[in-house]
Amino acid sequence: MTKKIFFGTNLKMYKNIKETTEYLKTLSQLTKDISRDNMELFVIPSYTSLCSAAQSTDKQFITLGAQNMCWEEKGTFTGEISPLMLQEMGIGLVMIGHSERRHVLRETDDEENRKVKCALNHGMTALLCVGETAKEKDYKISDEVIRTQLKIGLHDIPGSQLSRLWIAYEPVWAIGESGTPASSEYAEEKHQTIKNCLTELFGEAGSQIPVLYGGSVNPDNAVSLISQPSVDGLFTGRSAWDASVFNSLIRKTVYIKSGSCI
């Protein structure tokens, strides 16, 4: 069976509506010959671009997601976005607990758990991000931190919803301009920690949950990262924001697990 590789990007607080729709159009064009049996391609734009993006993007080629979501459908939550509002735009994927939400906006594991549950209960796919800070790595508690984020973030999730759960491992020290990418050996070691924890939580079904690596993924390190047995996909920031660079990164790596060539 072909192994599907996950490729995604979070546009963070970059790209306005026009830039987002143009980016998506170019990315669709450039990648449309690659069979979606071989890959799942997703883009997570800003909220303000999401509606236009949803109207102009062919979902057969690119899945769109939201960067965050409230754990309630409606109520006194000024500034928040409800799962129903996302679904109204046809959005079925939501990222939860990105490192900037956790460390800049101070979200807790308990909040991430409420959001994951809410997304799954609404039939959406939840992409839960986990990862340790540089300090936690120095203290040599990376595994404990990752396992805690998973155990709290995924608390009380029924096995029947696991097919709509994706995990991204994004060490905080690896993300952004000042980040150092994790070596592929380190990424593999932590992906194994994650997969073991998911199996511990959910049994055999846990081992089927895709685990993506993120944090300074670029065209130079992508091949070696995706070649690791426990890395199921690449979650890319800066190196994906130019559609042609993202396209070449995808083409370099998409058939690595299946052994065929493009």
Member of 132, 170, 188, 232 binding ligand PGA (CB under 6 A): 170
Member of 42, 237, 246, 253 binding ligand PGA (CB under 6 A): 237
Secondary structure (DSSP) of 46-96: -HHHHHHHHHHS-TTT-EEEES---SSSSSS-TT---HHHHHHTT--EEEE
Residue 253, helix vs strand vs coil:
helix
What's the closest the beta carbon of residue 214 comes to ligand PGA, in angstroms? 4
Q: Which of 122, 131, 182, 175 is nearest to 153 (CA)?
A: 131
Selected range binding ligand PGA among 116-124, 130-138, 149-157, 229-237, rule: CB under 6 A = 229-237
Tokens representing 72?
A: 């309630």
Distance CA 111, CA 128 (A): 12
Does position 219 bind ligand PGA by CB under 6 A? no
Q: Contact at 8 Å (CB) between 259 and 220?
A: no
What's the closest the beta carbon of residue 177 comes to ligand PGA, in angstroms? 8
Selected range binding ligand PGA among 44-52, 117-125, 195-203, 208-216, rule: CB under 6 A = 208-216
Selected range binding ligand PGA among 43-51, 54-62, 120-128, 234-242, rule: CB under 6 A = 234-242
List, by residue number, the catalytic residues: 98, 170
Q: Whose Cβ is closer to ligand PGA: residue 61's or residue 241's?
A: 241
Selected range binding ligand PGA among 73-81, 193-201, 203-211, 214-222, rule: CB under 6 A = 214-222
Distance CA 35, CA 189 (A): 30
Buried b or exposed e, range 133-144, using 16+ CB within 10 angstroms: beebbeeeebbe
- Residue 108 sits at the vertex; the CA angle it makes with 105 and 111, to the nearest 5 degrees, is 105
Q: Among positive and negative, which fits the CA dihedral 261, 93, 132, 154?
A: negative
Does position 214 bind ligand PGA by CB under 6 A? yes
Member of 21, 236, 247, 253 binding ligand PGA (CB under 6 A): 236
Does position 131 bind ligand PGA by CB under 6 A? no
Does position 113 bind ligand PGA by CB under 6 A? no
Q: Whose Cβ is closer to ligand PGA: residue 149's or residue 236's?
A: 236
Q: Whose Cβ is closer to ligand PGA: residue 68's or residue 82's?
A: 68
Member of 122, 155, 238, 252 binding ligand PGA (CB under 6 A): 238
Q: Contact at 8 Å (CB) between 172 and 132?
A: yes
What's the closest the beta carbon of residue 217 comes to ligand PGA, in angstroms? 5
Q: Which residues pair with 39 in a beta bridge?
A: 5
**Nearest residue (beta carbon) to ligand PGA:** 237
Residue position matching structure tokens 């799954």? 120
The residues that touch ligand PGA, with contacts defined as CB under 6 A, are 10, 170, 175-176, 179, 214-217, 235-238
